[in-house]
Every structure is written in C-alpha cells, then in structure tokens.
Amino acid sequence: MSTDYQDFKGKLALITGSSRGIGRGIALRLAERGAAVAVNYLQDSHAAADTVARIKARGGQAFPVQADVTRPEELAAMMSQVQAQFGALDIFVSNALGDLLSFMSSPLQVTSEQWDKAYSCQSRAFLLAVQQVVPLLRDGGRILTISYWPGSHLGGFLPYFAMGANKAALESMCRYFAVALAPRGITVNAICAGLTDDSIVNKLPPEAQEAILSWLREGWTPMGRPGTPADIGGAVAALCSADAGWITGQTIVADGGATLMSPEMPLGFQRP
C-alpha cells in the first residue's frame, strides 16, 4: 500500500455492502489512504474475505462484519461489533443496495411488497443506521450515502420507480441530518454514482449489459466509458478528506458527465 498519501491514517470506517462492486471500490480507496475498514456483507462471506485480504495485502487493516441492513436487530448487532473492534468511527458509508432486480417494476405495476423491499433497504436502513452510528462517530466525522441521479431526479427509467423514489428520499434525509449534526462538525452528503462497470449492472443479462455499457462508450458519457468502483471510491474519499469539511447536505454527481448530455440534441452535436 502506498504511504505517500495517508491522510486517513488513524481513521476508522464502516461501509455497508462493501464485499464487492462499488462498496469494495470505496473500501479499497479509503484503505489505500490509511483508514481501517469494517467490510459489511450480506451473504457472500468469500467476497468479503477477499476484500479484507486485498486490503491487508497492501498493508491496511480490515475485518468483515455480516449484517442484513434491512433488519434493525442485525444493524444494531453490526454497530456493536464495530464498536467492540474499533471503539469509535470516523466514516460511515451507506452503500448496500439490496436485491435491486427483485423490485424493478413500473409505478403503475409495482406491488406493495416490492415497494416495502426498496424502502427497507434504502430509506429505513439509512435512517436506522445513522441513528445508531452517530453515537460511535467522533466529532468531525463523515456520513455518506450512494444514490443515482437519473433515478432520484428524472422519471424515464420506469422500472426503477421504487428504488428511485427511495434514492430521492436518501438525498433529502442527508440535508436534514447535515443540519442536525453540523454542531459536531459531522458532514452528511450523497454521491450519485453513474452507471458503473463491475456493479449491479453486471447482474443484468449479457445483452442488457452490452446495450447499456456500449451506449456510454458511444459518447453519452463525455468521458467515453462507464464508471468503475475506483471512480466512486475516489469521490467518497474526496468528501471524507479534511478539505471537504465545509461541504455538507449536498448531492454530488460522479458520473463522468453523463447527466450533462441532452436527449433533445443529436449526439453528434454534443461531441467535442
């Protein structure tokens, strides 16, 4: 592990859903900068062990902690385990997504069961997690949640309805939490990750993956490629730095410029 940029040395972090994908990218980036990381996972203990091993192989500190964030009693048990291991926290990242494909449904067809699943793994999980993590956070700590701009601000991707509405709620909750925690110097922000390779996208059928990722490569993301977990990890690390202590209650978009593109104009008019 590089030692020339260890500004998080001595910092303690918990990232939910960090055994793989975007969560793993966040865990690795924070660890590279010196933070010790609690790697939360739902079921795949091998993936969590692999993330921990990658961190330790680079000279970092990490341990796995199993918990289903949709179950309040498991959230509480996770916080107790983290407290026993670390004693305190400096960074909490709410990243766990849940089984997105199980509640993909348009607004006029979504069932109450699908809605409840999205709510329990997003809005409610974030509320309960923040309430339980705040006593562990040292002053000047950081809270972040992962959102998705087209889901929370637009309406065209109809199957994303339940998740998108809950992502919008997360962003709103960040603003309220930011005000409530400002006296302690704790910042609370949301990061809207763009479509990211090596993430939930890769659980889609191969033809759907190719359609989505090739669309981005064709120019609908100005950077010409989909995001990576490391890209999102970098955005999280930036907001966790000391320099970001005056940024709170904000929704930051990390999507390579995809949300800057206009569907009203032919792509050829928008390319440099």
pLDDT digits (tens, 9 = 90+) for 200-226: 777 777 887 788 888 888 888 899 888
Which of 119, 160, 176, 203 is catalytic? The answer is 160
- CB-based contact 143:181 (threshold 8 Å): yes
Q: Whole-angstrom Cα distance, residue 143 to residue 133?
A: 9
Which fold, 12-200+228-257?
Rossmann fold (3.40.50)
Q: Whole-angstrom Cα distance, residue 188 to residue 245?
A: 10
> What's the CA dihedral at 217, 222, 225, 226 to 10 degrees?
-110
- Prediction pTM value: 0.94
Which of 11, 41, 117, 167 is catalytic? The answer is 167
Strands 137-147 and 187-193: parallel
Domain regions of the chain by residue span: 12-200+228-257
What are φ and ψ of residue 76, in 5° steps? Answer: -65, -40
Is 160 catalytic? The answer is yes
Is 41 catalytic? The answer is no
Q: What is the pLDDT of residues 21-33, one digit of tens each?
A: 999 999 999 999 9
